[in-house]
Amino acid sequence: MYHVAVIGATGAVGQKMLQVLAEHDFPVRQISAYASARSAGKIVQFKGQDVTIQALSENITKDGIGVALFAAGGTISEQYAPLLAAAGTLVVDNSSAFRMQADIPLVVPEVNSQAIGPNDRLIANPNCSTIQSVVALAPLQPFGLKRVNYTTYQAVSGSGQKGIEDLARGSRGEEPVNYPHPIHDNILPHIDVFLPDGYTKEEQKMIDETRKIFRLPELPVSATCVRVPVTNSHSVAINVTFEQETSVEAIRAALAEAPGVVLVDDVSHNQYPMPLDASGTDDVYVGRIRQDQSLANTFHIWCVADNIRKGAASNAVQVARQALESSIHS
């Protein structure tokens, strides 16, 4: 049993981490919740019990924390995650701060749990859209990944509460506060900041993280990330080219047996993955599998997942459990 801390416990992901820790029956002996000084004293819930938010400070290294889940943004992670890891705490960080550091594992348990070493104390959680996409692609690795192109349809909850509030504002005819344009009754081909080459930082994250997770640094990957007026659960259209010849039937068979995947692909009965299906679950729903008529040995795959759960909180909890097991069995 462990003393477990959630850093950023007042945010959407932090609160979901507390919920998932309870639902997954994580071996919690003591739970602590941290946030900024302005949130200190607020109450969050864990297994029906009140937990008082503590102000985050460097004294956290003296609190005897065994496992720390970070959901407070990159700046906070950069300051505190290495301190806790150096003190012996197992840290799983949900920000982008450490994802592309060569010596820090970037992990989705269904895909590359072997990347966790027994002595790793700091592990990075990938981007939400990357997580669900690689879960869908991992069972297809035997066919040989040759090229991947993503188009995402990302819910406003990916921006946290402020994104949800902008969607509500728009429904009332009010101007947005978080987004540069209204999101209600609209879509924005713009997530995170634009880079000099015209891609956004979110798109570059998906490109870089996919290559790192699959250990294919030269894999051709591209992405277009779009914000849509959906409250929760991201959708990703994946266009993938394989090295080996395969078929829709073989792809379906591989996905039907894959851990963490729910195959929903019966268009004759209008059955395909939708955000309403995925919300509140930890699975990645996959369907609309079909051959691309314009490129050889290329296929379309549609996947949907709860971006706050599997795309963040649940994956972090799964990573923590995997890391603890790796340490125990080393």
- Tell me if 172 is assigned to a ligand binding site: no
Among 44, 14, 278, 231, CA closest to 125: 14
Q: Which two tokens stand for residue 151?
A: 């188009």
Q: Is 14 annotated as a binding residue?
A: no
Measured CA to CA, the distance from residue 294 to residue 26 in angstroms comes to: 47
Q: Is 99 known to sit in a ligand binding site?
A: yes
50 C-beta neighbours (distance < 10 Å), count = 8
Residues near 223 by beta carbon (within 8 Å), at least 6 away in sequence:
149, 150, 151, 152, 199, 202, 203, 204, 206, 207
- Among 115, 112, 113, 94, residue whose Cα is nearest residue 104: 115
156 CB-contact burial (10 Å; exposed 0-12 / middle 13-18 / buried 19+) = buried
Q: Hey, what are 210's tokens?
A: 């996919």
**Is 10 within any annotated ligand binding site?**
yes
Residue 274: what residue type?
M
CA–CA–CA angle 241, 245, 246 (5° rounding): 90
The amino acid at residue 287 is: G
Any idea which residues carry the catalytic annotation?
Answer: 128, 234
Do the annotations mark residue 74 as ligand-binding? Answer: no
The verdict on whether residue 316 carries a ligand-binding annotation is no
Radius of gyration of the chain from Cα atoms?
A: 20
- The answer to whether the annotation marks 9 as part of a ligand binding site is no
Is 176 annotated in some ligand binding site?
Answer: yes
What's the CA dihedral at 256, 300, 186, 227 to 10 degrees? 70
Nearest Cα to 60, choosing from 100, 11, 9, 107?
A: 9
- Phi/psi region, residue 173 (left: phi>0; alpha: psi -120 to 50; beta: rest), is left
Strand 49-55 relative to strand 28-35: parallel, antiparallel, unpaired? parallel
- Rounded to the nearest 10 degrees, how much is the dihedral formed by the CA atoms of 178, 179, 184, 186? -170
Any known ligand binding at 126? no
Q: Binding site residues for NADP(+), as ranges?
A: 10-13, 38-39, 157-158, 176, 307
Q: Binding site residues for substrate, as ranges?
A: 154, 227
Q: Binding site residues, as ranges?
A: 10-13, 38-39, 99, 154, 157-158, 176, 227, 307
Q: Binding site residues for phosphate, as ranges?
A: 99
